[in-house]
Chain A
């Protein structure tokens, strides 16, 4: 095990670290956005919005932890053989989740003004 690679960043521009921070910012934003869902949705849609809000916070927490694990894995791989594992799965899952979020918001608006 090469201890040097664990101490120094992959590149001087700290791209990998900045990407980890970007994931953390995004997970926080998703978690924060999930709370008003419960607050405002509960009047019109009751338990459904509580479930949706809890789901959002849970997913955001899981994603936050997964981002840290992924950072360590990618860092190890980049410093040993320079090949970067692709981000396609986390990116697709995040895009799908937020899209579902947005469609739920539109549904809420329709229910509220109907």
Chain B
């Protein structure tokens, strides 16, 4: 049985399997969010949305970067939550989610502004 990263599994006790499974599903939700962001970033650039290229490129780059951030945050959040479950501590809060949501809003605003110029 692979137990990686070791920092997560070093101490504590086995959590209730239902909580571990819920943690797993949360990670998968982050993966699907990341895929949607990546698809949006690629599609924005590839489909020639009628916005000026000067605005399209930064919006596309923002979405792609947010996509990578989302999957990385998903994994880090999974590891931290698993550790908290094992040590019976409070679960980590939704920090990066706010950053990602704000980033998506900014990218959308950039595209809208670019469409009207």
Contact = CB atoms under 8 A, between A and B. Distances in A.
Interface of A: 10-11, 13, 15-16, 18-19, 22-23, 25-26, 29-30, 33, 36-37, 40, 78, 82-89, 91-92, 94-95, 98-99, 101-103, 105-106, 108-109, 112-113
Contacts of A83: 14
B61 interface: yes
Contact of B25 (A22, A89, A94, A103): A22
Chain A interface, DSSP helix/strand/loop, else mixed: helix
Contact of A105 (B8, B17, B41): B41
Contacts, number: 116
Interface in B36-89: 36, 38-39, 41-43, 45-46, 53, 57, 60-61, 64-65, 67-68, 71-72, 74-75, 78
Interface residues of B, number: 43
